[in-house]
Structure 1
Amino acid sequence: MDGLLLAGQMLSLTAKVAVAVLLLRAYRISGRTSALHLGLAWLFSAVVVLMDALGHEILVVVFYSVFSAVLFYGSLRFLIEEGQVVLKRPWMWALPPVIGAFYGLLLGNGWESTVGIPYGVSAFYVFLAGVTIASAEGDFPTARRAGIALALFGLHEMDYPVLRDVQWFAPIGFTLGAVLTVLSAYMMARMVLSERFIGTKPTVEVKPGVKLLTRKNYERVVEGLKDYPVLAFLREPTPFPAWTGYMLTAVSGEMRIHPTNLARMSEIVSRYLREASNQDVTGVVVIDGVEFLVTYNGLQPVLKFLATLRDMALVNNALLLVFVEENAWNPKELSMLKRIFAGE
């Protein structure tokens, strides 16, 4: 069993270090902070394996709690980057495993309170991290599979405090843990290496700037961008496979945004432009349905929203295209709208 245990530990260590390297590489390419924190989490998990091999049970609990906390924080950052949640101070949601571990070590009495319960809490947060990643909306199957594998890994880890003394389960638990570790690492690697996560450089060249266009020019303009990785907010389904499109609608669903959720739209645009800039690509954002946004939010909030997008585009050397129905605006409103895009 000792030889099998050592082989399993080496396999687990190799898988965790490998996926950490891939995640950190994905961070360097895409600039997505979720990749950075997920990569750091797997490095902490590799340290857990080392501490376990050296027999330092207390350090196993400490580093496992840090692993689960950073992993859960990375999963929250992932959903924020995907524009699916808006959280202030998301790191606060990831603190319970670390707090529980140190509370148990400082004030606990006996194995259950110093090791068992903190370990179980940390494993539960690994499970939550998997569920969080798997909940990603839209066409992101690799993320869903990675999340499911991670959730299963967390569920298995939760049985350790209960079944650690059951002799007949030891080889089963050991084998299952090794398989789920490798599976989770493999699926996570698939996720961060996907085009959906890191993106690819387009072959079409576009010039940065900000443009206010009339709706009658929509078909002509977007046809020239049909093969470009455009980020679009539209009143109809996305017209081209190369685009990442969100439908502006009060009906909930995947890749849909409620017209009052301007903050989420801003976050999505900000992340997209950062990723494009990191990849040395000119980001292109298309907004169609401004009148619909005004109906739900009023004129001034929408003007401020468009002014923010304009500044984002200029700072990131991107192209912002906003289409409006000219007849839907009175002269004063149209003048205010044009001033935003003229930079006045």
Structure 2
Amino acid sequence: MNYLDLFLGIALLVSYVLLFYNYHLTGRKALLYYSLAWLSLAVPMFSLDKAVYAVGLASFSTFLWAGNVMAIEELSMEDETRRDLLYLSILPILFVILLYPGHETSTFLLLGLWICASSVVLGSFGGRDFLPMAFLQGILGVVVAASAFVPFLRFHLIPAVIAVFMAFESVRTFLRTSFIGDFSIGSIKDVGLDERPGLLLVPSVPENVLSSALVFSRVPRDCPNWFWITTVHDERAISPTNLPKILDMAVKFMREAGEAGKKPIIVIDGLDYLVLENGFSSVLKFLSALRDYALVHGATVFIVGSDDFLSERERKLLRSIVGEGNA
């Protein structure tokens, strides 16, 4: 093992630690799978055994596939049926068990093609945030597949360098779309709200409710629990297309407010803007997930706006998960 192998191995281990720590903070399963993927690829960097490399690459391919599937579900609000794709993640392990070492060429070819397939799935269904990750995964898959016919590509340098770029791109993507905590539970006051838990569509919200809620609004305000929905880069700004981050923050707020013995109240302003930026289907899935969490945590979520801009069919779908309130 030379210094370059050591450096690349440590870089992959650092990626594992960052992703696993973020998983510990947010509970996102995609982060767990990605962290295990980088750990699987880091281990072979400290060994010159080809069998260790093959097993590590297969484990990496397995966890990468699982991470991509969960990322699509968690961050892009895709249908839960995509979880069925998780069962396919065992295939790379089977490639090694059934083919290696007797059919080494076929093993690396299939592993490379599997990584390419993972990149296609992520790029097709994961949205814009994941395109750089999908692109780098595709490059790695091509290199691994080519290594089946070009032996010097099988070990270390080129695949490992690409993997390090992949690792830090995944860290960057998830840290950007994950919320760790930046609100004040202590500022929440009891406003005597008697609205039932769940989602309520209202034309406006009183000021006393706003001051005691976690608020996502198109209007900026300098308050500890107020976040600005905008495409402008700001410390307390959230992109209107980053519905996963809004959901992540809302769920964390519900949990912490409940633990503090306070009623969680959340206000989301600008239904029309969110639909314009994300499409009705994505917003409906987001609101459905938010409603389920609200019911579990006894939270009331006010969706401020009107549904007049929707078609009759879309209004019926929205009303099936969102009630009307009197805030």
Same fold (TM over 0.5): yes
CA deviation profile, 1:7-49 (whole Å, cap 9, x unmatched): 3321221111110001001111222111111001111112233
Percent of residue pairs identical: 17
Of 90, 103, 117, the residue aligned with 1:128 is 117
2:194: which partner in 1? none
Q: Using structure 1 for the length normalisation, give the TM-score.
A: 0.62
| Deviation at residue 181 of structure 1 after TM alignment | 2.8
Q: Map residues 1-344 of structure 1 onto 2, 5 A cutoff.
A: 6-50=2-46, 52-53=47-48, 55=49, 57-86=50-79, 87-105=82-100, 111=102, 113=103, 115-135=104-124, 136-138=126-128, 140=129, 143-164=130-151, 170=152, 175-194=157-176, 196-202=177-183, 210=198, 212=200, 214-215=202-203, 217=204, 222=217, 242-243=237-238, 245=240, 273-276=250-253, 284=266, 286=268, 288=271, 310=291, 312-316=293-297, 318-323=299-304
CA deviation profile, 1:69-106 (whole Å, cap 9, x unmatched): 1111011101111134221433113122122222214x
1:167: which partner in 2? none
- Contact 1:214/1:326 (8 A) holds in 2: no
1: CA distance between counterparts of 2:78 and 2:138?
20
- Contact 1:31/1:278 (8 A) holds in 2: no
1:330: which partner in 2? none
> After the TM superposition, which of the residue ranges 118-127 and 29-38 deviates more from structure 2?
118-127
- Contact 1:84/1:137 (8 A) holds in 2: no
- Contact 2:61/2:114 (8 A) holds in 1: yes
SS of structure 1 residue aligned to 2:268: strand
What count of residue pairs does the alignment treat as equivalent? 280
2: CA distance between counterparts of 1:244 and 1:318?
24
2:12 is matched by which residue type in structure 1? K
2: CA distance between counterparts of 1:326 and 1:186?
41
Structure 2 gaps, min length 5: 191-196, 211-216, 259-263, 309-315
1: CA distance between counterparts of 2:18 and 2:288?
37
> How large is the RMSD of aligned CA atoms in angstroms?
4.6
Q: Which has the larger radius of gyration?
A: 1
SS of structure 2 residue aligned to 1:92: helix
1:103 and 1:284, CA in 2 relative to 1: closer, same or farther beyond 3 A?
farther
1: CA distance between counterparts of 2:307 and 2:4?
67
